[in-house]
Copies of this chain bind each other. A is one copy, B any other.
Amino acid sequence: MVREALAALLGLEGDIDVVAQVARGDEVLDAARATPVDVALLDIEMPGLTGLEAAALLRRELPALKVVILTTFGRPGYLRRAMESGADAFLVKDAPAARLADALRRVLRGERVIDPTLAAAALADGANPLTDRERAVLTASADGSTNAELAARLHLSNGTVRNYLSTAIQKTGARNRAEAVRIARDKGWL
């Protein structure tokens, strides 16, 4: 519904045509190939592929296509990964609607559009300090699983799970796994 609404909004702009829409991240590339298109507008949270993964894919397969990421959550880590994925713009949904059409036009002129506040936050936070396994264990723990369940699910020993969670807790500056999950999620590290 939101996607259709945004399409309606952009359709009101005289110089913008919405030529294709898909509901899933893994349908983006096919659609972009099937239709001549200048700019792809991607959400991050999507079924199939995330917008960040889809952006990287588009960058590789169709380098001329501009990519704009539009997301609900302005998390520094998201912005960082969006830039690494080769996105041309990064917008948050609580910005005024006028900014969206504006960003699309700027991107087409070759500019990059990034919220300065967010850019500062992303730079201040530094890179994701979590190793692959720490991130995997922390992510898996988010639903309230116990150490034993995590160990079984990830094919690790109980103690190893505890060790990874312990380092993740320290790196996030949290005082237990739940807080660590919250902080890491906030920063877009998961």
Report chain B residues within 8 Å CB of A9.
4-5, 8-9
Query: Is the pair B5, A97 in contact by a Cβ cutoff of 8 Å?
Result: yes
Q: How far is the CA of A41 from the CA of B11 in the complex (A)?
A: 22
Count of chain A residues with a beta carbon within 8 Å of a chain B beta carbon? 31
Q: Which residue of B lies closest to A175 (CB)?
A: B146
Interface presence of A157 (CB below 8 A): no
**Residues of A with Cβ closer than 8 Å to B?**
1-2, 4-6, 8-9, 11-12, 93-97, 99-100, 141-146, 174-182
Can you report 19 A-B residue pairs in the complex whose CB atoms are below 8 A from each other?
A1-B95, A4-B9, A4-B97, A5-B5, A5-B6, A5-B8, A8-B9, A8-B97, A9-B9, A141-B178, A142-B178, A143-B179, A144-B175, A144-B176, A144-B177, A144-B179, A144-B180, A146-B176, A178-B178
